Amino acid sequence: MALLETQRMILRPPKPEDEYFFYHLNKDEEVMRYIRPVMDRNASKEYFLNACDITDDKIGYSIAIDKTSAEFIGWFLLKQFEDTDKMEFGYRLMKRFWGQGLATEGSLAFKEYAFDTLKLEQLVAVTHLDNDASGNVLLKTGFEYKGDAFHYNTDVKYFELNKFNLMG
């Protein structure tokens, strides 16, 4: 994953020491409320290793680090959407960073990266049916809600962001 920078964050590829922070993110009941059950240390480590495996020089997980404090904020992601040729966008932030506009800031950086650098034409995203906060971040970033759908073995809200819709 390329190194990206926003006003308040550095977005960089994962490093081995990030596994510790993934665990703290994945064991937080409020963070995981709309995603999946909390993970124990072994499940989180397996998840982290998979995150590293799917990360290359263009797509995958990007670790968000606070520019001022160097704290782990969370991660942003571009990956293949299930068994499709579509590219999925996602993110997960530590609870203490919620409500500060960081999710939107990182999402806008990824939108620019996806369309300007990777030359993608579309991004998709899904949220839990009750996760209005993440849905609002996607809408602020330019995604359009396309309806409820069934992905990842559950009912979700499905969003699309099309490059050509951004051109006015």
DSSP secondary structure letters along the chain: ---EE-SSEEEE---TTHHHHHHHHHT-HHHHTTTS----HHHHHHHHHHHHHT--SSSEEEEEEETTT--EEEEEEEEE-TTSS-EEEEEEE-GGGTTSSHHHHHHHHHHHIIIIIS--SEEEEEEETT-HHHHHHHHHHT-EEEEEEEETTEEEEEEEEEGGGGG-
Into which CATH architecture does domain 4-119 fall?
Answer: 3-Layer(aba) Sandwich (3.40)
Contact 129, 148 (CB under 8 A): yes
The pLDDT-based confidence of 168 (bands split at 50, 70, 90) is: very low
pTM of the model: 0.93
Query: Could you read off the pLDDT of 116-163 as tens digits, one per residue?
Result: 999 999 999 999 999 999 999 999 999 999 999 999 999 999 999 998
d(CA 160, CA 140): 13
Sketch the domain layout of the chain as residue ranges. 4-119
Query: Could you read off the pLDDT of 55-69 as tens digits, one per residue?
Result: 999 999 999 999 999
